[in-house]
Amino acid sequence: MKIVDMLKKKMTFSFEVFPPKEDDGVPKLRNELRELFRFSPDFISCTYGAGGTNVGKSKEICAFITDNKVTCMTHFTCIGNKKQEIKEIVRSYIDMGLENVLAMRGDFPKDPETGTLETTTGGDFEHANFLIEYLHGLFPKLGIACAGYPEKHILAPSFDSDIAFLKAKQDAGAEFIMLQLCHDVDAYCRFRDKCHKAGVHLPHVMGLMPVLARDPIITMTMANGCSIPPELAAIIGTYTPARGAAESVVKEAAADFKKAGMEYTVKALWRYMAVGVEGIHIYALNKSADVAKIVRDAGIRTQLPVA
């Protein structure tokens, strides 16, 4: 089913997973997915590595999701992809039964020798709106999502330019916006107002990263150019052990951080629901037990018993 059709009827609830790098990772992820299926998600998305680096595992995971009668959305980027390759790969996903794709430019790769960030995608499209336009022309029945950044893309020269690119994605055929990491609900509301003023009226699905561990949440927040609200900053400050602390102290701090972080994540879910976001999309991080507790504590889905 096309996700945009769901969004016209209700607030959607969904998860995101990623293809594991480990050789035995796919069977483990299948077990994690079975636990997520018990919450009857409206859809599950699966990421796709730059240049198709994990296309095999991505397809395998997408097929497993689809075979279990759950709507699946694949991610697809401009990085390293030529038109003919794009046509063939996306067609293969459609033949598997997928009806939705998140089309993005993707992060610029690093030069393998110098380690510096490239300034081109290395493919036939340099911006997501051109990829979206191409896919929409080839597969007019395909549901296409675009990425949005409530606190602006980290490489965008200004907020206005970022919103202008979002408008170009809408005009190219995008049907809804998958919003990237944003801890600050007020920042999201300001972003939404800017979208409306610029004529961007696509539904918003908010991506939420569970706050489970100190270092990963700081790293991801900085990498995306996001702010850390006072409540989250207080959690980070409170549960950061002193340098050189004993291992037992470090472990206790990590456990306390996780507990407080999960409670914070539940509150964030409620806040986004309260301001009327059209969809909630939880980055499952391939950790179903932690995500299941967050969903149960938030009271937004009942976990079905094992068949």
Determine the Cα–Cα distance for residues 245 and 252; give it in Å rounded to an integer.
11
Percent of the chain residues topping a pLDDT of 90: 83
Instruction: Please identify which residue in the block is written with the tokens 């499209």.
Output: 125
Dig out the tokens for 140 from the structure. Answer: 């007019």
What are 93's two structure tokens? 């996903």
| In the predicted structure, residue 19 carries a pLDDT above the cut 80 | yes
> 18 falls in which pLDDT band (50, 70, 90)?
very high
Least confident of 117-121, 154-158, 169-173: 117-121
Say if CB 134 and CB 125 are below 8 A apart: yes
pLDDT digits (tens, 9 = 90+) for 54-64: 677 889 999 99
- How far apart, in Å, are the Cα atoms of 4 and each of 7, 207, 278? 5, 16, 10
The reported pLDDT for the residue numbered 71 is 98
Structure tokens at 201: 């009226």
pLDDT tens across 228-263, in order? 999 999 999 999 999 999 999 999 999 999 999 999
Cα–Cα distance for residue pair 45/72, rounded to 1 Å: 6
- Ranking 80-84, 203-207, 274-278, 298-302 by mean pLDDT, the lowest is 298-302
CATH of domain 3-298: 3.20.20.220
Q: Which of 265, 185, 266 is nearest to 229 (CA)?
A: 185
Average pLDDT, the chain: 93
CA distance 304 to 307: 8
Q: What is the mean pLDDT of residues 66-87?
A: 94
Range with the lowest mean pLDDT among 26-40, 73-87, 103-117, 134-148?
103-117
Query: Is residue 273's pLDDT more than 90?
Result: yes
What pLDDT, on a 0 to 100 scale, did the predictor assign at position 306? 61
pLDDT over 60 (residue 52): no
pLDDT of 51 above 60? no
Q: Is the pLDDT of residue 48 over 70?
A: yes
Q: How many whole angstroms separate alpha carbon 279 and alpha carbon 82? A: 32
**Which tokens in the block code for residue 131?**
């990829």
29's tokens: 């992820």
Specify the pLDDT at position 303: 74
- Span 43-58, average pLDDT: 76
State the SS3 of the chain.
Answer: CCHHHHHCCCCEEEEEECCCCCCCHHHHHHHHHHHHHCCCCCEEEECCCHHHCCHHHHHHHHHHHHHCCCCEEEEEECCCCCHHHHHHHHHHHHHCCCCEEEEECCCCCECCCCCCECCCCCCCCCCHHHHHHHHHHHCCCCEEEEEECCCCCCCCCCHHHHHHHHHHHHHHCCCEEEECCCCCHHHHHHHHHHHHHCCCCCCEEEEECCCCCHHHHHHHHHHCCCCCCHHHHHHHHHCCCCCCCCHHHHHHHHHHHHHHHHHHHHHHHHHHHHCCCCEEEEECCCCHHHHHHHHHHHCCCCCCCCC
Predicted local distance difference test score (pLDDT) of residue 146: 98
What pLDDT shows up at residue 49? Answer: 60
Q: Whose CA is closest to 73, among 50, 94, 52, 51? A: 94
